[in-house]
Amino acid sequence: MHDEGSTLWSVAWQSRWALVVGSILAAAITFVALLYVTPIYRAKTHVLLGGSGMVIEMPTSVQQRPVNAALSESAVIVMKSNDVLRAVVEDLELNKRAEFNPALRDKGISDRAKNWLSGIAATVRGKADQLESEMADPLRPSDPLAGTVRGLRSKVTSKVLGESFVIEVAAQSSDPRLAAMISDKIAQEYLEKQLEQNARAGGKATVWLEERVSELRADVAAAELKVAEFRTNTLNSGEQMTQDLEPRIEELNAHLARLTTEASDLKARTDEIRELFETSNYIALTEILNLAVVSELIGELSEEEARVADLKARYDDHPGVAKAIEERNLVARQLDEQIERALSGLDIRSEIIAEQRETLRAELQSARRALADSRQKELLFHELEREAEASRDVYNRFLLQLKEVREQSLLQAPEASIVSYAEVPVHPVAPQKKKMAAVAGVGGGLFVLALIVLTGGSVGRVRTPLAVSAQTGVSSVIQIPYVRGAKSPIELLNKARQPSGSDLLRAVNWLRLRISGRETNGVQVIMITSTAPGEGKSALSLLLAEAYEAGGYETLLVNADPAQGGISELEGTEEFRKSKFSFLDYSEEAVHSLESNGGLENALKKRQREMRRTDAIIVDGPVALSSPEFIEFGLLADHVIMACEWNKTGTEELKHSIDLLKAEGLNVTAVAINKVPTKEMTPVTVPLSTTRRPLSLPPPNAT
C-alpha cells in the first residue's frame, strides 16, 4: 500500500522506462563529454609542526611557541600567504603557464562569470581571505604576478589533518610532476620563512640583549662603587664598628654592676656603723671598722672607764677622780672623732662610687647609641652589597643569555619539518568520470520525471469517480479510502474492525447497497476482478464479505484466483475465527491438494450444502480475461465489480477491460477505486451504518 504522498512514486513507476532511458542518455553524454576534459592531478606534502630537533641541545633564548590549534591554523594561513605563493611562482616560473596565469589564455564566458562570482564572494567575506603574515607583501593591481598568485591559490589547499599537528599541503595541476613540485615547494618556502622569522627574532633579541647587558654592566659598576665608597668613609671616620662596641658595652655593664654592688655594700656598712656608734657598741664597731687606732682608743677608753670606776669607789669626790674623768672623756672624744672620720671616709667613698656609676652610665648610653648607629650603617652596607650582588647576578644571566643567542644563531632550525614529500600522482582527481556520469544519470532521470509531472504525468490515470464513470459507462463508482499501516488484505480487515476503520467499512457498505439494494431475494453471486495484479482485488473481496455478513447475510467468500491471492491463507487465522462468513479456497493449489488426497468429491458436496444456505457469494476472481475459467465464473455472477488503484491504473486499460467483459456478457455493475488518499475522497452524501441488522429482521430468502 502506498501512502498519501505516493503520487510522485506512482508517476515514476508508470514512467520508469522513460526515466531509465533519460538517465542512461544523460550519463552517456556526460561520460563522453568528460573524455575531452583535461585531467587534473593532485599531489600532497605533509608538514609536522614542532621542533625538528638539533644535533647540539641548547636552551633557546627566544622561547618557541607551543604547538596548539591556533598555531596550526596560523601555519595554514601562512602557507597560502602572498609572499609564500609569490616565491613559488618565481622559482617554478608559473607565470609562464596559462594554467596559472589567466593573462595567457583567452577569457571566455565561464572566466567572466567566475571573476564576477569571485568579486561578489570577496565582497561578502570582506577581509576574511586576506589574512597574511606580518611580513607578507600585499597584492597590488600593478603587480605582474598578482594574477598568477591568485590562480595558484585557487589550486592549492592546506588543512590540518584531524586533531593532529600535521598539515597537508595539496596542489593541483594538469601536469602531475608540476603538482608534486608545487606542493613540495610551498612546504619548503614555509620552512624558509620560519627560518627567516627565527633569524629576525634572534637578531632583535641579540640587539636588545646587548643593550640590556650594557645597562646592567653600568648598574653593577655603580653598585660596587657605592660599596667601596661606604667602606672607605667608614674606615676614615674612625668610628668603631659593631664588633668593637659590643665587647665594650659588655665590659661597661659589668663594671657598672660591680660599682652598684660596692655602693650597696658601703651604704649597708655605713648604716650599721652609725647604728652601733649611736648605741656605743664599741666592741662590734671594732670588728666592723677593723682600725688599729679605733681598737686602741676603745681599749684606752675601757681602761679609763675602769680606772674612773675604781677611783670613785675608793675615793668618791677626790680631785683625782675628776682628773680621771677628764682623761676618760678625752679618750672618748678621740674615739668619736676617729669613728666620725671613718664614717666621713665611707661617705666620700660612696660619693666617688656614685660619680663613677654616673660616668659609666653616660659612657654606656653613648656606646649603645654608637652601636645602634653602627648597626644602621652596617645594614645600609649589607643592602648595598646585596644590591651589587643582585646586579652582578642579573648581569651574568643576561651575559650568558647573550652568548647563547649568538651561538644559537649559527644553529637555527624551523619550528616544523617535512615528514613526507609529495609523490608524483598517477591517477587524476578530476574529472571523476564515473561519479559525474552517475550524478548526471540521476539528474537526467529527475529531469525527465519533472517534465512528466509538469506536463501532466497523471493524465490517463484513475482519479475521480465522475471521470471514471464518464469514461467507462459504469454508473456505480465507489472510492475505497487508504488505510495507513495495512500491508495485506488480512491486516486491512483487522484495521476495518477497529473504530478508526469506520470510514473504510462505510465505503464498502455503500458499494454493497449500490449493487444489491436494501432488500434482495435469492442468492447473490458477486465477483471482484481487476485489470492487473496488485490493485486491491483480494482486499476488496474480504471487506465486502465482512460488510455482507455485518448486514445480516449468510455470506460465503470464495478464493478463485489461480495466482494465490492475498486471502489464500485466510483460513486458520485469528481474523477468520472472528468472522461470521464462510470461506472456500477454490484456487488451483487447493483443488490439486484435495484431488491428491481423494477428498475433492466430499469437499464439493459439503460446499454445495453450504451454498444452498448462503445469501451472498463473494468471489475473489482472477485478473480480467486472464483465463477461460474467468468467463465461466463471470457469467455465473450477478454482479462483476472491477477493482482498480487510484492514480496507478490507466483509464484506457480500465475502459478496455470493462468493454471486453461486457462484450462477453458479464454484468459489470460497479468500479471500486482502491487506496484513495483522504484528501482526494469525494464526500458520501448518505452516511451508512456498519452495524449488524437486528436478528428480528429476517435475512433475504435463499433459493
Least Cα distance to 253 among 265, 245, 242 occurs for 245
Q: Which domain holds residue 321?
A: 242-408
Q: Based on the domain organization, do 500 and 625 belong to the same domain? A: yes
Q: Based on the domain organization, do 381 and 506 belong to the same domain? A: no
What pTM does this model have?
0.41
423 in a structural domain: no
Q: Based on the domain organization, do 445 and 377 belong to the same domain? A: no
Q: Based on the domain organization, do 378 and 396 belong to the same domain? A: yes
- 161: which 3 cell numbers? 589533518
Q: Based on the domain organization, do 361 and 479 belong to the same domain? A: no
Distance CA 580, CA 549 (A): 6
Contact status, residue 94 vs residue 152, Cβ threshold 8 Å: yes
591 in a structural domain: yes
228 in a structural domain: no
Give the rounded distance of the alpha carbon of 523 from its chain centre. Answer: 76
Residue 453 burial (10 A CB sphere; 0-12, 13-18, 19+): middle
Q: How many domains does the chain have?
A: 4
Contact status, residue 530 vs residue 489, Cβ threshold 8 Å: no
215 in a structural domain: no
Can you tell me which residue has the cell 627566544? Answer: 62
Q: Based on the domain organization, do 386 and 267 belong to the same domain? A: yes
Least Cα distance to 172 among 315, 278, 21, 41 occurs for 41
Helix residue ranges per DSSP H, 4-142: 7-14, 16-34, 69-79, 82-92, 109-125
632 in a structural domain: yes
Distance CA 634, CA 659 (A): 14
Least Cα distance to 411 among 661, 24, 663, 55 occurs for 55
- 394: which 3 cell numbers? 642579573
Contact status, residue 90 vs residue 182, Cβ threshold 8 Å: no
DSSP letter at 145?
Answer: T
220-247 burial, b if ≥16 CB within 10 A, otherwise e?
Answer: beebbebbeebeeeeeeeeeeeeeebee
Q: Based on the domain organization, do 515 and 616 belong to the same domain? A: yes
Q: Based on the domain organization, do 280 and 355 belong to the same domain? A: yes
CA angle in degrees (0–180, nearest 5) for 658-661-663: 110
Contact status, residue 480 vs residue 684, Cβ threshold 8 Å: no
Q: Based on the domain organization, do 152 and 195 belong to the same domain? A: yes
Query: In 3-state terms, what secondary structure has residue 543?
Result: helix
Q: Based on the domain organization, do 549 and 563 belong to the same domain? A: yes
110 in a structural domain: yes
227 in a structural domain: no
Distance CA 477, CA 514 (A): 9
Last residue of a domain, one of 355, 385, 418: 418
Q: Based on the domain organization, do 28 and 135 belong to the same domain? A: no
Angle between helices 176-236 and 69-79 (to 10 degrees): 120
Cα dist from 59 to 68, 202, 400, 536, 600, whole Å: 21, 13, 11, 86, 104
326 membership: H or E segment, kind and range: helix 319-408
Per DSSP, which regions of 367-455 are E strands? 416-420
List, in order, residues 6 or more apart from 260 with CB less than 8 Å away.
357
Per DSSP, which regions of 538-615 are E strands? 555-559, 582-585
Q: If the chain, 703 residues long, is cut into consecutive pieces of 10 residues, what is the mean pLDDT of each piece? A: 49 74 87 82 89 47 61 85 89 87 70 62 51 45 78 89 88 90 90 80 80 86 83 68 74 85 84 78 73 76 77 73 79 79 82 86 83 79 85 87 73 74 87 84 84 65 89 92 87 86 86 73 85 89 91 87 75 84 74 52 58 82 76 84 90 91 91 90 56 36 32
Distance CA 183, CA 140 (A): 25
Q: Based on the domain organization, do 29 and 43 belong to the same domain? A: no
126 in a structural domain: yes
